[in-house]
Structure formats: structure tokens, C-alpha cells
Amino acid sequence: MTERYDVIVLGAGAAGLMCAATAGYQGHSVLVLDHANKPGKKILMSGGGRCNFTNLNTTPAHFTSANPHFCKSALNRYSPWHFLELVERHGVEHVEKAPGQLFCAGSSKEILQVLLTECDWAGAEVRLNTSVTHVNDRPVAGADGGEGQGADPALVASAADGFRLRTAGGELHARRLVVATGGLSIPTLGAGPFGYRLAERFGLTVLPTRAGLVPFTLQPADKAWLAELAGVSAEVAAEAGGRRFQEPLLITHRGLSGPAMLQVSSFWRPGDEVAVDWLPALADPAAALRQARAEQPAAGVEKWLRGFFSQRLAATLAEHFGWRGPLQHQSNERLAQIAALLKGWRFKPAGTEGYRTAEVTLGGLDTDAVSSKTFEAKAVPGLFFIGEVLDVTGELGGFNFQWAWASAHAAAQAL
């Protein structure tokens, strides 16, 4: 016997749950399927367990996509204030950690609970531990079923009668199918390529993917001097791919992390260098060094650096770059060299930690295939894509969840 629903949502993550609840309130019968044993695993992990659930300063400029205009309509129609109103209605206390970045004052669990409660109130059912193997009798490959088989024109034609999904638990049918299976980041949290493979089976283009918001690994020469500073952080300005972010950098045993590195990682390409300004707040360190030389001629560069960095970092920078001897022995030219290195240190990452630790996946379903108003595939009526599976990626700071909420809300209006 086939179970019938108006809407089936694949993926009980941020976008899927939001869409399911919104569609349920509109009177649709809704089923959410997830192959994982728990819903919303990334929500639980996010923001260090406190979920940075939105950013009040959300604008399209904070998103990367082959089509930078695609995200505008949905973001306009469902703003951070809409989600904040929902969160406050459920009594979730929140804090603004950095300008615009809203986190739970308690735990990420509260955001997941808001979504599950909304699904419950809206009559949307969430079913876990369920993998889809076939759509309209055609196998769909991905994390749960081998390699992709390419576009299947007969599959597109069959979608006119809706979507028949085969699972181990039986057959399901929906008039509308919403794909909210997310990106590839952190496979241990349930991530996989199913959404991309399904899109390809329907003849939709999937753009190349890569890990974003991810720590860098270092070449052996840089690792040799930086690894001993594991745990040390400093406010820097980092630049790659033409984008600059002033945020903390964190040195780890494996490489360089912290918000500054995560942000630029999304704009970095293998082989590129990353530039680091260790003193972003100091416009003219050469002048500051000359002044220090006049005031404390017997002091060394290391002592001067301690005014800006932890003792360990100051000592290691001075040692590594060979900044020895009292300031009074340093020529103006030498002080200018030191200043230039501090303002523009460059390193060539060995790579990134990849999907294992990345917060997001860049690339994904080509937005040209989907309406920016309804999120319905232009070539396949009834098939919708929302959230991170699309080629829309936010910067660090709550933007990715805002995209999940906004795209889900827009799609739900059109179901």
C-alpha cells in the first residue's frame, strides 16, 4: 500500500523542518524523511552548541553564488526579524555576541525544539532512519545507493504524476517533493551527495563543490614554527581571493583556524596565498616602532610586540623572523621591514581540512535551474530545492541558517 502526502520533504535539517512546518500550517499533509537517526544534527552542533541562528545584518552581499542575485527575493521576504519573532514566541533567550550575530543564551537544542514543536503544531510528521532508494521506480544514487547514473528524461516526464518514493519501510507518494538534504560538510552528521545526484537524474546542473568555512592546513616549514603556538589566538585581518576579514585567528596543532581563517577559506583557491595583517588596528607600525626606539632604546622588538600579542606569540614571532637586539641598533630601514612583515605576512596553505570539519559546502545545485521566487525546478514542476544543497553559501556569522529559513519559507508559500 502506498502512503500519500501532499508534500514530502527530504532532510530533517534546518531548511527541511522550517519548510515542513510552514507547509503544514497551510493545510498540506507533510512528511519529512531523514536517513539519520536524529533530526537537525547540524543545528545541535552549531555555534559551539549555542547555534548562531541568524544575523540581523543579513544582506545578499554576505552570500557567495554563481548568481549573486538569486538569494535576494527569499532574503527580502523572510528576514532575520521574522525568525527572531518565532524564536521569541517560543521563549528562547538569546544573546548578540558580535554585532548582528544572535546565539541562544542556553543551548542549540532550543532552536531544534522550536522547529520540531512547529512541525508538531502544523501536523507535519518527521520520520527518521529512512533512506529513499528509488523515485518513480528509477534508482537514485548517492550516499545511500552507489554512483550517480546521469540524467533520465523518462524520470522528468513521470514527475507530472507526482513523486513515488521507495524506502525500506514501503512506498510513499507526494504531489510535491522538496529536497533539503544540505551539502557535503561533516559526513558523520548525515551529510551526503544524495540531493545532487537526485538533481542530476532530473537533468539539472550541479556546479562543482568545495569545502568552505574550513581551517587551513600548513606547509611543513610554516607548521614547524606555528604548531608550537597551538591554542594561541590574535585579532588579525586576513585576505584571500580579494576578500578581507578582520577577526580572530587561532593557531591549532593542524594549522590555522578561527573566524578569520574560516572566512577567507571560502574565497581561497588551492595554490593561492593568504595574506595576514597581524596588526590591523595599527595603521603605521613603522612609525610606532621608531617612536618606541626613541622612548625605550634598550628594549627589543619582542618587548614591543608584547604590547599587542600574548608573550608566547610575541616571542615566537621575534624568534622566527630573527628580530633580535635592542631597538636602538635597528635602522629605519630595518624597522620598516619588520612593519611590512607584520602588516603583510603571507603563507601558502597546504590545503584545508576538507569536508571532515568544514561548516559549509560551496557550489551545489546551479541556481539557474530553480526559480528564485518559488524554489521549484524550472524543468520539473513539483520538485523543489532549498537550503545548502543550492549554490548559495553564506559567510560565517548566522547567515547560513538565515538562508535555510528564508529559502524554506519561500518554497513553502509555493507548495
Any contact of residue 12 with ligand FDA (CB under 6 A)?
yes
Any contact of residue 363 with ligand FDA (CB under 6 A)?
no
Among residues 9, 34, 155, 277, which is the contact residue for ligand FDA, using CB under 6 A?
A: 34
Among residues 9, 20, 35, 184, which is the contact residue for ligand FDA, using CB under 6 A?
A: 35
Residues 135 and 181 sit within 8 Å (Cβ to Cβ): no
Among residues 3, 4, 29, 45, which is the contact residue for ligand FDA, using CB under 6 A?
A: 45
Q: Residue 42 or residue 166: which is nearer to ligand FDA going by CB?
A: 42
Helix/strand/coil (H/E/C) assignment for every residue in the chain: CEEEEEEEEECCCHHHHHHHHHHHHCCCCEEEECCCCCCCHHHHHHHHHCCEEEECCCCHHHEECCCCCCCHHHHHHCCHHHHHHHHHHCCCCEEECCCCEEEECCCCHHHHHHHHHHHHHHCCEEECCCCEEEECCEECCECCCECCCCCCHHHHHHHHHCEEEEECCEEEEEEEEEECCCCCCCHHHCCCCHHHHHHHHCCCCEEEEEEECCCEECCHHHHHHHHHHCCCEEEEEEEECCEEEEEEEEECCCEEEHHHHHHHHCCCCCCCCEEEECCCCCCCHHHHHHHHHHHCCCCEHHHHHCCCCCHHHHHHHHHHHCCCCEHHHCCHHHHHHHHHHHHCEEECCCEECHHHCCCEEEEEECHHHECCCCCEECCCCCEEECHHHECCEECCCCHHHHHHHHHHHHHHHHC
- Compute how many residues bind ligand FDA; rule: CB under 6 A: 41
- Calculate the alpha carbon distances from 47 to 96, 161, 173, 183 in Å: 12, 42, 36, 18
Any contact of residue 210 with ligand FDA (CB under 6 A)?
no
Q: Residue 15 or residue 71: which is nearer to ligand FDA going by CB?
A: 15
Among residues 22, 52, 64, 352, which is the contact residue for ligand FDA, using CB under 6 A?
A: 52
Q: Taking contact as CB under 6 A, which single stretch among the options 42-50, 59-67, 158-166, 307-315 is the one that binds ligand FDA?
A: 42-50
Q: Residue 216 or residue 309: which is nearer to ligand FDA going by CB?
A: 216
CB 155, min distance to ligand FDA, A: 17
Binding track over 103-142 against ligand FDA, x by CB under 6 A: ----------------------------xx---------x
Q: Residue 52 or residue 316: which is nearer to ligand FDA going by CB?
A: 52
Binding track over 316-355 against ligand FDA, x by CB under 6 A: ----------------------------------------
Select the residue whose beta carbon is closest to ligand FDA and give its number.
13
Any contact of residue 192 with ligand FDA (CB under 6 A)?
yes
Any contact of residue 65 with ligand FDA (CB under 6 A)?
no
Any contact of residue 179 with ligand FDA (CB under 6 A)?
no
Q: CA nearest 268: which of 214, 321, 323?
A: 214
Among residues 245, 268, 398, 412, which is the contact residue for ligand FDA, using CB under 6 A?
A: 398
Any contact of residue 80 with ligand FDA (CB under 6 A)?
no
Any contact of residue 404 with ligand FDA (CB under 6 A)?
yes
CB 387, min distance to ligand FDA, A: 2
By CB under 6 A, name the binding residues for ligand FDA. 10-16, 33-36, 41-42, 45-47, 51-52, 131-132, 142-144, 180-182, 185-186, 190-192, 194, 359-360, 387-388, 398-401, 404
